[in-house]
């Protein structure tokens, strides 16, 4: 087995299909946490301003609000669609290890264990835990059996330059097709000479004349078929 | 079959499936605008998996493979999502699952009980015999405010001087915030091989015992005991159960049995969560009693009868609730 170098988590379903989920790393999750933290602070301030008018009862409500927000703010959002506002901004969400939406049990667990991840200050324990495993799990994620994944990468959309399409002279494997599409995506960032130099590596496929445009033609064929001929 | 024939043949099915999934995602609990009968869903989903597998194995174009993968992923989420009905779950939890879970983990409970009550009794006796010991546990100002809380002439007792002017409801909020948070932290401490929970139990045991021993002397004694006994049944038991939940977490890491440590943790954690959520409900009840009942100026006898009933109820609840299989 080759060692995994990318951040795609694979899960094999009972149907024998392998699903891929792209994991969110510590930095993205840290920023999401900071955004949520800021939102919580604003909530406290708004609560304090409104409840000050109510005297003793207001003080009691304030403390109850503080308690609920402190412990259950993430749970409230996660059980609805897996995303706290901070995670929504960063385009990530919490799911079970098998990719299904997070349940009450899992969400409660990962958030009740958060104080340990916060130790000793600034999420250091959670941060170290995330670096030590291949799925970026903090301690709460281990107990709850959850991961945090990108929402937007569920379907990768290649955007490549338009070019009259043409089929490749030989059948290509899926991974090879992807490779050519990756190249097509990058063409506009490369100089003409570099483009040609790279494309010439596949001489059998492209021939000597305008190799980079041949690859673009194949790429367009992979994406749209005959339509763009 | 080449790709365009494949796409042409199944395009309609995929589109239908996509619409169905979209309506399911929009309304995860309510009724779904059905274009596919709900019983058909699993079969359709498997069909889609089959198409995805074929497209991948035949090395069709990445665009097609990726869009099918996206559909499969969304279908998988809907088919295998765990459905919960929170309100009903809460009712059956209190009536049945919570006491059952505790009875299934009696060892953790009694261990936690010992870790809490042995230091409590020890510190209590020591502080009773030698009240000055309390000063090595907490600072002088804190002791003075404790004394004022249970002084016979303090009016609203069980409150520090500052708190006395505040309403019962404010104290209710404070007890919720403070006590349930302590319970949750005691539980979370279990992640550190159980050490955090052990420490929290020992610490709270010593502090509570020390204060109780010190305040048992006149003139505070009678007032202190009638104040604390009422809600103590729920509150002290809830601390012990939070500790037991933390110990379960720790034990699952230390003694994983035939599982890998992390798997053992993941399997055991939901059980521990049940205990700590039950404890949170008990803390809530205790906060209610402490704020609105314990601080009232009622005849001493009434307080003791109420306290006795509470302890009896808690014990009966854990002994008998949820025994029948229904």
**Is the confidence at residue B121, as pLDDT, over 90?**
yes
**Is the confidence at residue A177, as pLDDT, over 90?**
no
CA atoms of B60 and B101, how far apart (whole Å): 52
- Domain end (from B29, B63, B80): B80
Residue A96 pairs in a beta bridge with A146
**End-to-end CA distance of chain A, in Å?**
41
- Domain end (from B80, B104, B127): B80
Span of A215-219, B34-38, B229-233, B287-291 with lowest mean pLDDT:
B34-38
Q: Number of Cβ pairs closer than 8 Å across A and B?
A: 155
**Is the confidence at residue B166, as pLDDT, over 70?**
no
Q: In a mutagenesis test of the B interface, which of A10, A52, A66, A116 is the best target, namely the one with the most B β-carbons within 10 Å?
A: A116
A158 is written with which tokens? 């290649």
In this complex, the residue of B63, B169, B188 whose CB is nearest that of residue A115 is B188
> A103-152, pLDDT tens digit by residue?
889 999 999 999 998 888 888 899 999 999 888 999 999 999 999 998 86
ipTM above 0.90, yes or no: no
Q: A163 pLDDT band (50/70/90 cuts)?
A: confident
Q: In a mutagenesis test of the A interface, which of B44, B54, B68, B73 is the best target, namely the one with the most A β-carbons within 10 Å?
A: B73
CA atoms of B12 and A22, how far apart (whole Å): 29
Residue A146 pairs in a beta bridge with A96
**Domain contains B326:** no
* Statement to judge: residues B200 and B267 lie in one domain: yes
Q: Is the Cβ pair A62, B192 closer than 8 Å?
A: no
Instruction: Check residue B30 and give its pLDDT.
Output: 53
Mean pLDDT within B29-49:
76
| CB count in 10 Å sphere of residue A200 | 13
Chain A contact for B63, CB < 8 A? yes
Q: Which residues on chain A are in Cβ contact (under 8 Å) with B261? A: none
Which distant-in-sequence residues (6+ apart) come within 8 Å of B203 by Cβ? Answer: none
Q: Is the Cβ pair A100, B76 closer than 8 Å?
A: yes
Bridging pattern class, strands A8-12 and A18-22: antiparallel
> B255-300, pLDDT tens digit by residue?
998 999 999 999 999 999 999 999 999 999 999 998 888 777 778 8
- Domain end (from B50, B80, B110): B80
**Domain contains B310:** yes
Task: Answer positive or negative: Cα dihedral of A12, A14, A19, A21.
Answer: negative
Which distant-in-sequence residues (6+ apart) come within 8 Å of B102 by Cβ? Answer: B109, B241, B244, B275, B278, B318
**Domain ranges (residues) in chain A:** 8-154, 174-228
Higher pLDDT, B111 or B299: B111
**Domain contains B233:** yes
* Statement to judge: residues B123 and B98 lie in one domain: yes
Q: Is the Cβ pair A108, B273 closer than 8 Å?
A: yes
* Statement to judge: residues B164 and B207 lie in one domain: yes
Written as one string, the DSSP assignment of A140-159 is HHHHHTEEEEESGGGS----
CA atoms of A61 and B148, how far apart (whole Å): 26
Q: Which residues on chain A are in Cβ contact (under 8 Å) with B180? A: 67, 71
- Residue pair B207/B138 in contact (Cβ under 8 Å)? The answer is yes
**Domain contains B74:** yes
* Statement to judge: residues B149 and B98 lie in one domain: yes
Cα–Cα separations (whole angstroms), residue A105 to A75, A140, A145: 10, 12, 10
Cα A6–chain centre separation: 13
**Domain contains B63:** yes
**Is the confidence at residue A154, as pLDDT, over 60?**
no
Q: Is the Cβ pair B170, A104 closer than 8 Å?
A: no
CA atoms of A113 and B185, how far apart (whole Å): 8
Q: A1 pLDDT band (50/70/90 cuts)?
A: very low
* Coil, helix or strand at residue A92: strand
Highest mean pLDDT among B107-121, B135-149, B221-235: B107-121
**Domain contains B54:** yes
Higher pLDDT, B109 or B35: B109
Q: Residues, chain A, total?
A: 229
Chain A contact for B88, CB < 8 A? no
Q: Is the Cβ pair A104, B86 closer than 8 Å?
A: yes
* Statement to judge: residues B270 and B130 lie in one domain: yes
**Is the confidence at residue B32, as pLDDT, over 60?**
no
Q: B181 pLDDT band (50/70/90 cuts)?
A: very high
Rounded to 5°, the CA angle A172-A22-A186 comes to: 50
Distance (Å) from the alpha carbon of B166 to chain A's nearest alpha carbon? 6
* Statement to judge: residues B203 and B278 lie in one domain: yes
Q: Is the Cβ pair A174, B59 closer than 8 Å?
A: yes
Nearest residue of B to residue A61, measured between CA atoms:
B173
Mean pLDDT within A183-190:
82
* Statement to judge: residues B172 and B233 lie in one domain: yes
Report how many domains make up chain B: 2
**What percent of chain B lies above the pLDDT cut of 70?**
92
Distance (Å) from the alpha carbon of B126 to chain A's nearest alpha carbon? 33
Mean pLDDT within B226-245:
92
Chain A contact for B191, CB < 8 A? yes
> B206-221, pLDDT tens digit by residue?
999 998 998 888 778 7
CA atoms of B18 and A157, how far apart (whole Å): 17
* Statement to judge: residues B21 and B53 lie in one domain: yes
Q: In a mutagenesis test of the A interface, which of B8, B29, B82, B246 is the best target, namely the one with the most A β-carbons within 10 Å?
A: B82
* Statement to judge: residues B119 and B224 lie in one domain: yes
Q: Where in the sequence is the domain holding B107, given as residue range(s)? A: 88-320
pTM attached to this predicted model = 0.82
**What percent of chain B lies above the pLDDT cut of 90?**
42
In this complex, the residue of A115, A154, A225 whose CB is nearest that of residue B185 is A115
Q: Which residues on chain B are in Cβ contact (under 8 Å) with A144? A: 266, 269
> A87-103, pLDDT tens digit by residue?
999 999 999 988 888 98
**Domain contains B325:** no
Chain A contact for B261, CB < 8 A? no
Q: A197 pLDDT band (50/70/90 cuts)?
A: confident
* Statement to judge: residues B275 and B313 lie in one domain: yes
**What percent of chain A lies above the pLDDT cut of 90?**
30
Q: Which residues on chain A are in Cβ contact (under 8 Å) with B50? A: 15
Which distant-in-sequence residues (6+ apart) come within 8 Å of B50 by Cβ? Answer: A15
Task: Answer positive or negative: Cα dihedral of B240, B242, B245, B247.
Answer: negative
């Amino acid at each position: 087995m080759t060692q995994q170098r990318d951040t795609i988590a694979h899960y094999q379903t009972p149907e024998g299909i392998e699903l891929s989920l792209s994991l969110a790393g510590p930095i993205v999750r840290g920023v999401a946490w900071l955004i949520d933290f800021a939102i919580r602070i604003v909530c406290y301030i708004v609560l304090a301003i409104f409840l000050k008018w109510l005297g003793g009862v207001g003080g009691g409500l304030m403390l109850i609000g503080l308690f609920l927000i402190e412990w259950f703010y993430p749970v409230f959002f996660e059980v609805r669609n897996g995303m706290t506002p901070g995670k929504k901004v960063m385009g990530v969400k919490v799911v079970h290890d098998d990719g299904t939406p997070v349940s009450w049990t899992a969400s409660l667990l990962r958030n009740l264990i958060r104080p340990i991840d916060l130790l000793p200050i600034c999420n250091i324990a959670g941060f170290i835990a995330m670096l030590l495993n291949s799925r970026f799990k903090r301690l709460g994620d281990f107990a709850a059996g959850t991961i945090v994944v990108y929402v937007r990468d569920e379907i990768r959309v290649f955007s490549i330059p338009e070019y009259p399409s043409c089929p490749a002279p030989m059948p290509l494997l899926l991974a090879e097709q992807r490779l050519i599409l990756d190249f097509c995506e990058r063409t506009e960032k490369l100089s003409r000479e570099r483009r040609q130099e790279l494309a010439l590596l596949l001489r059998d496929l492209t021939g000597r004349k305008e190799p980079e445009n041949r690859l673009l033609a194949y790429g367009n064929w992979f994406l749209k078929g005959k339509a763009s001929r | 079959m080449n790709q365009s024939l494949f796409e042409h043949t199944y395009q309609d099915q995929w589109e239908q499936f996509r619409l169905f999934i979209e309506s399911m995602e929009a309304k995860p609990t309510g009724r779904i605008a059905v274009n596919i009968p709900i019983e058909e869903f699993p079969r359709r989903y498997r069909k889609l998996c089959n198409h995805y597998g074929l497209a991948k194995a035949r090395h069709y174009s990445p665009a097609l493979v990726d869009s099918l993968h996206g559909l499969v992923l969304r279908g998988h989420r809907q088919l295998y999502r765990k459905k919960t009905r929170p309100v009903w779950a809460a009712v059956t939890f209190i009536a049945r699952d919570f006491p059952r879970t505790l009875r299934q983990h009696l060892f953790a409970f009694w261990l936690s009980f010992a870790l809490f009550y042995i230091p409590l009794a020890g510190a209590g006796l020591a502080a009773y015999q030698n009240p000055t010991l309390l000063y090595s546990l907490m600072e002088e100002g804190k002791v003075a405010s404790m004394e004022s809380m249970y002084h016979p002439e303090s009016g609203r007792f069980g409150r520090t001087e500052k708190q006395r002017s505040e309403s019962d409801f404010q104290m209710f909020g404070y007890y919720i915030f403070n006590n349930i948070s302590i319970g949750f932290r005691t539980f979370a401490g279990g992640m550190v091989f159980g050490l955090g929970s052990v420490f929290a139990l020992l610490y709270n045991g010593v502090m509570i015992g020390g204060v109780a021993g010190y305040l048992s002397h006149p003139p505070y004694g009678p007032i202190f005991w009638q104040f604390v006994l009422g809600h103590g049944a729920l509150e002290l038991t809830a601390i012990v159960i939070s500790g037991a939940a933390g110990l379960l977490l720790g034990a699952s890491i230390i003694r994983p049995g035939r599982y890998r440590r992390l798997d053992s943790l993941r399997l055991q954690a939901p059980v521990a969560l049940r205990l700590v959520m039950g404890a949170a409900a008990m803390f809530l009840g205790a906060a209610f009693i402490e704020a609105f009942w314990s601080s009232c100026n009622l005849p001493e006898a009434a307080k003791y009868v109420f306290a006795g009933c509470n302890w009896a109820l808690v014990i009966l609840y854990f002994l008998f609730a949820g025994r029948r299989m229904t």
